[in-house]
Amino acid sequence: MPDCTVVVITYNDAARLPRAVRSVLDQTLRDLEVIICDDASTDDTPRVAGALTRADPRVRYVRRQVNSGGCGAPRNDGLDAALSPYVMFLDSDDTLPRHACKSLLTEIERTGADFVSGQIARLYESSGRTHRYYPHLFARRRTVEGIREEPDLFLDCFTTNKLFDVSFLRRHALRFPEDILYEDHVFGAEMYCAARRFAVVPWTVYHWHRPQDGTSISMSTKEMDNVRHRLEAARRSDAVLRAHGFGDLVPDRQYRFVRQDLRVYLNPLPSRDVAWAAEFAGVVRPYLAQIPGEVLERLPATARVCCHLILADRAEDLRVAARSLNGPQAPPREVVTRGGRTYWGRTPAPGMDITALHLAELPYTASRLRHEVVALASAGTRMRLRVRTYDPFGVLTAAPGWTASLRCGTVRTPLSPVPDPDGGYLSEVTVDLATLRGRGDPRIGFTGPDGRTTTDVLLADPCMAPFTLRHLRVSAEGSAGQLCVRPRRTPRVALSRLKRVVLRRLGMPRTKLAAYKALIRLVPPRPDLALFEADCGKGYTGSPRAVYEEVRRRGLPVSVVWSVARARADFPSDAALVRRGSWRYVWTMARAGVWVDSHGFPLDHPKPRGTRYLQTWHGQGIKSIGFDAPDLRADLPGPREQWRAAVARWDALISPSAEFSRYFVPALGYEGRVLRYGTPRCDALVRGRPPEGVRERLEIPPGRKILLYAPTYRDGAKGSGASVRVDLEELAEALSGEWALILRTHPVERYQVPPHLRHFVTPAGSYPEINDLILVSDALLTDYSSVMCDYAVTGKPMLFFVDDWDEYRLTERGVNTDLPAIAPGPCVTTTADLVECLRHLPAVHASFAARYAAARRLWCEEERGDAAARVVADFFRAPLAVPVAERSPLRGAT
């Protein structure tokens, strides 16, 4: 008896069937069987299946004589033929990840569950990218004692992402319906009713392939019979719950229908005509009318509006609203405000309330306008557009004196919108894209008299046929029909790409490193030339900035070149720049007699003989660092030796405190000279004066207190946004009238603020200078970030959100100090507790006065406001050999 059976159902899919079967045969669980269940295919499937059975004895073939028209019958055939105690189901156009069977088998044996469910991921074949299906459902590995414990799991009614105990299925006579499509919905309802216990795992166990031009039952959403089958599956599922005594959970299952099933048809609705939309609404309306209002209230605002438009039989308005569901999520054409509430359309109605989107409260640069292309023509490289702009929230009315332009990448064309009697503004413009290289999706920008600009995309007819402008392709992309301009594949474009590939090969890091090593042997460094770099070239910030400004203030005879990783931002206009990693950067590293940086110049580049290297470092605090950090604490010689050699380049290290010297210096493996003068970047915090205009630049409303939220990254989830652990929605609901939140994520993090929270949350991950944010804020919210040490200089309140403290200290980054024992502010683990602390912040802050004073002694004792001056006086005291007349900086960023 094999450990596991995988039933692969197929119909006229001979080309993809081998891929599906191979994904099972290649599983790390070797003791399994594959049953190919053929629903009477008329293509080459019998021959292909025969070859698979001959090639591997673990494969069996079962064929129906008459096509059943769905998936239920072949799945039942496979279940009847299964010899093993556990079974999975796989469609022939999909695949299993390599460890799916083994990991699910281990989990079901460990938990004694009736079935185990894992993450399902859409795999887009055109790009190879995957998108997880409702990842919040699978975020935690857990055992669920029946569906009543977690009725949200009705959203997971798939059968393909589950491993079933065969005895459980046979004991409860669980079978797939054979007379409808979407049979898994009904089977799923019966499965949840019968299961006494089931398990959920967070890893991906099923790849749901989405070909660029494929066809399947789930993709045939234009067929009205497809809609009717899905509705019938919903009705039968409700009946199953009632028959098994789970009638109280019917609203939870119906929420799945309006949240997921209905969206399958609403998403492409803008590309359907009005007649189709009207027929669709007529088919759906009877079932939708039976769903309680409280179920619809759980939906996102725009989806709820669509439901009420279906109920009101407003097909044309439904097509307009559906364009706001996806893609750019365009605002409504019109809104009406009553009693502090905002409603979609011209008349207020409870089901049309979109106040929760907070679109009327957005700062100017994030405000939303709706631009619809009403006419479009092209000739040569020119495109002529007629655009209607809707301003539902009066953004333009509130900013008289604005100017407008159409922006396509680097091409900008002035616009002259005129008020339209039917509402909004009309613009006509001809744009020449002859000079556009690369992507240039059109956006219309309105710039106010204060220089701030709000931009939004253009919506074209989703059914518009793509056309070309010589080297460009213009199309309406996505269900919303966003107008896009992309480079077209032509011989010239291909040649340009080939040129870039060749140049990239010539400029590969190993080539540049070899050239650099040759240079430092041949060319002596210039004592009067300094290369400065902050945060690996990310900006003009930190202690390198403070040291540089002190060098300039003193008028020292040294020419400074700044390393910059991306486009120039906030550097002094006369600063000489060099692009990090470029050939000029290699030359500058070799020639500079002084290096100053905060994170580390490229680790494998030896320092030229005679060059002096000042390492300012970038923080202190409680996190493990250097040889204690996850990437170095493993006993692997390569990374450790590389780090040791990189640290050996330092001639001086700035230490801001005795605590830094106690822990950080030895953890970094540094044995050289230490400058205990305080932190140059903290001089501005000691002075305590924020630069002019910071609040205005951040668009913080007057009268709001500012909470700076600055979490650190998680080593196991860099770039995932996982560091933002506070429930920002709950925080906004409780505090948005009194507080504004500035979100400063770590530079390695990627987090997109949800649009409906932009009235409360200002994203500042790319803001160039964190000192500005510290000085303008009224309190700090962090977790384990070193920003706590800098913030202590200000004496302002700090709060710590440490819901994953045990995980972080034991299995994640690791720490050198027990934060809850020494924190100069409350350590909370829930957003509710955080809200309470903020509501009583003065008293809470006062209660931590003794700890705060101890933290300042620990981290800030050397901070007197003159660290940069003391560091420069010490490190730059050596005379410079080159006369002033012979000094010249390297100019330009290349």
Classify residue 578 by burial, with Cβ atoms within 10 Å: 0-12, 13-18, 19+: buried
Tokens of 608: 């030229």
Cα-Cα-Cα-Cα torsion 255, 261, 263, 266, nearest 10 degrees, comes to -120
CB-facing half-sphere around the CA of 400: CA atoms within 13 A:
0
Residue stretches of the chain with pLDDT short of 70: 213-219, 490-506, 567, 878-894
* Contact in structure between 859 and 678 (CB atoms under 8 Å): no
How far apart are alpha carbons 644 and 322 in whole angstroms? Answer: 58
Q: Are strands 443-447 and 425-432 parallel, antiparallel or unpaired?
A: unpaired
Q: Determine if residue 776 is left, alpha or beta; phi over 0 gives left, psi from -120 to 50 gives alpha, anything else beta.
A: alpha
pLDDT score for 857: 95
* Contact in structure between 455 and 496 (CB atoms under 8 Å): no
Q: For the chain, give the number of residues.
A: 894
Q: What are phi and psi of 796, to 5 degrees?
A: -85, 160
* Contact in structure between 373 and 483 (CB atoms under 8 Å): yes
Q: Are strands 482-487 and 472-477 parallel, antiparallel or unpaired?
A: antiparallel
pLDDT score for 244: 97
How far apart are alpha carbons 146 and 552 in whole angstroms? Answer: 69
pLDDT score for 646: 95
* 429 SS3 class: strand
pLDDT score for 502: 67
Tokens of 54: 């001959």
Residues linked to residue 61 through DSSP beta bridges, in sequence order:
36
* Contact in structure between 841 and 850 (CB atoms under 8 Å): no
Rg of the chain taking only CA atoms, in angstroms:
32
pLDDT score for 1: 85
